[in-house]
Amino acid sequence: MHNDLPRFPLFAGAVLAALGVALGAFGAHGLRSLLDDAALAWWQTAVQYQMWHAIGLVALGAARLPRSLLPAVMLAAGTVIFAGTLYAMALGGPRWLGAVTPVGGSLMILGWLVVAWRVLRATPRGF
């Protein structure tokens, strides 16, 4: 079971990164002439946060920290909620989704704080 620890963070990070590249390219090439400046800014913010957290998830998986599943799930879910609501609003979704966006941001923040806490509490293993 211990060898399976990095699988979820690596998988989630890889999928989010692939989608981030695709959505970033779509925004830059397919939406630039269709969206106003505010909507393009939401799209770019979503892509940026999605990519940073994708890289973070891959790093978390590669670090092989014990008990990393909970923070990885928090980071992945937070990223999907945060970026997803911004993508939806940029494409004309209801503006009330902006009230849901901070839930995703809060999950991302809490996920990183759980990682930090677990790193501090972990028994050193040669690093």
- What pLDDT, on the 0 to 100 scale, is given for residue 126? 45
- What pLDDT, on the 0 to 100 scale, is given for residue 67? 86
List the structure tokens of 64.
């092989």
- What pLDDT, on the 0 to 100 scale, is given for residue 1? 44
pLDDT tens string 13-43: 999 999 999 999 999 999 988 999 999 999 9
Enumerate residues 6+ apart whose C-beta is below 8 A from 101: 81, 82, 85, 86
- What pLDDT, on the 0 to 100 scale, is given for residue 16? 98
Q: Does residue 6 sit in helix, strand or coil?
A: coil
Mean pLDDT per 10-residue segment, the chain (127 residues): 69 97 95 92 97 97 88 97 98 95 98 94 64
List the structure tokens of 57.
């998830």
User: Hey, what's the torsion of the CAs at 18, 4, 115, 51, to 10 degrees?
Assistant: 0
8 Å CB contact between 52 and 60: no
Q: Does residue 23 sit in helix, strand or coil?
A: helix
